[in-house]
Structure 1
């Protein structure tokens, strides 16, 4: 059986509306213009520190305000779950993979606290044996260390990474593991510009992709 690690935001869940809510609440408090949902999706991917940097750049907020803005953002992040939705077919795919005996885990750049909070809120936490957040290690994706740590926590077996973005593709390449690309997430470039083993647009297709990949690699 395989070890399958998933990215979270833009892969299993569409959390952009909740993240937009945090960002715009902070902008309103500071008398600045709100962000569109497309802008927020464009900011997501490299973790909360980079997200706040991109917010500041878009609104010409001084560097000196970074730490305070980051703290305000993170304070709200733990409870930002009510607008987040699971992508269609995710729960059924996770159940099928779990039933088939695969070991499942999460490797995300989202901080570990908000990660665990949203997984519990959506009742997805029951499927994952290990969860690595953006602040679980001194480095985050696209450094391969968090992904390799997640695989290591699942023991032995073929490794497969499932994600949606440029960061995920780069991480998989650096970790030298097969990458299954979910095409309906937060990627910013065309599918054919991202290195991937296979691509899919609905999670109902994932269990068969995993089965086929395992046959091809054994």
Structure 2
């Protein structure tokens, strides 16, 4: 019998709704710079490519000078990492589903562009840390998604063919570049029409995902 495929998940917008905490951190940074706050929808349009890109987009929107990018990024990451789960929630049935899948024998991994310190803090605060056999964060490697290297590193650590589960066009491009099947959670942070990305399957409820994954091929 073939081994069960590994299931590798994105974090923000896939397993958790972290947008309220991300927006709060962005607005604390903007307040310190004497800038007006951003609404959650605007912040959402900037997330998905890691903290440096988030800060770059926020700075451009507010006309802040680019030479302060490194400083503002460090400040945002430190602030967010210190309080990453005050407003963040786990999507319905995620904890139950991950627990069941682990009990069924699926190796579970995480591949996120969130910095490592913040990733660890969020997973611990929300009671998810024990569920993953491999965690690749945004600063684990020189590359970030949509480069395939982080996802392939997670596959390598898990040691078996894998499926990637995410919510965005960044995740879709990552899976395609890595040659992995891609399952899209449709209630996350997708910023483009579904017709513009390549998916193996879509789902809006993690109870549905449990059934979708059963017997799926690990070849696209």
Q: Please classify the TM superposition score into its range, dividing by the shorter chain length.
A: over 0.9
Cα deviation digits, residues 111-136 of structure 1 (max 9, x gap): 01100100000000111011000100
- The answer to whether residue 70 in structure 2 is matched with residue 91 in structure 1 is no
Q: Residue 67 of structure 2 corresponds to which residue in structure 1?
A: 64
Task: Work out which of the residue numbers 66, 73, 82 in structure 1 matches 2:86.
Answer: 82
Is residue 2:176 matched to residue 1:173? yes
**Equivalent residue of 1:21, what SS?**
helix
2:154 aligned residue (135, 150, 156): 150
Distance 1:119 1:108 in 2: 12
Paired residue secondary structure (1:146):
helix
Q: TM-score, normalised by structure 2?
A: 0.95
In the alignment, structure 1 residue 185 sits paired with structure 2 residue 191: no
What residue ranges of structure 2 are gaps of 5+ in the alignment? none
| Counterpart among 125, 129, 136 of residue 132 in structure 1 | 136
Q: Alpha-carbon deviation of 1:5? A: 0.4
1:104 matched to 2:94? no
Paired position in structure 2 for 1:141: 145
Which segments of structure 1 move beyond 6 Å, counting only runs of 4 or more?
Answer: none
Q: Distance in 2 between matches of 1:97 and 1:191?
A: 27
Q: Contact conserved, 1:91 with 1:124, CA < 8 A, in 2? A: yes
**Which residue does the alignment assign to 1:51?**
54
Q: Which 5+ residue runs of structure 1 have no aligned equivalent?
A: none
- Determine if contact 1:183/1:191 at 8 Å carries over to the other structure: no
Quote the Cα distance in structure 2 between the aligned partners of 1:187 and 1:198: 15
Cα RMSD of the aligned pairs, angstroms, is 1.1
**TM-aligned CA deviation for residue 192 of structure 1:** 2.5
1:212 to partner: Cα distance: 4.0
Please name the residue that 1:209 is paired with: 212
Write the distance in 2 (CA, Å) between the matches of 1:204 and 1:37.
27
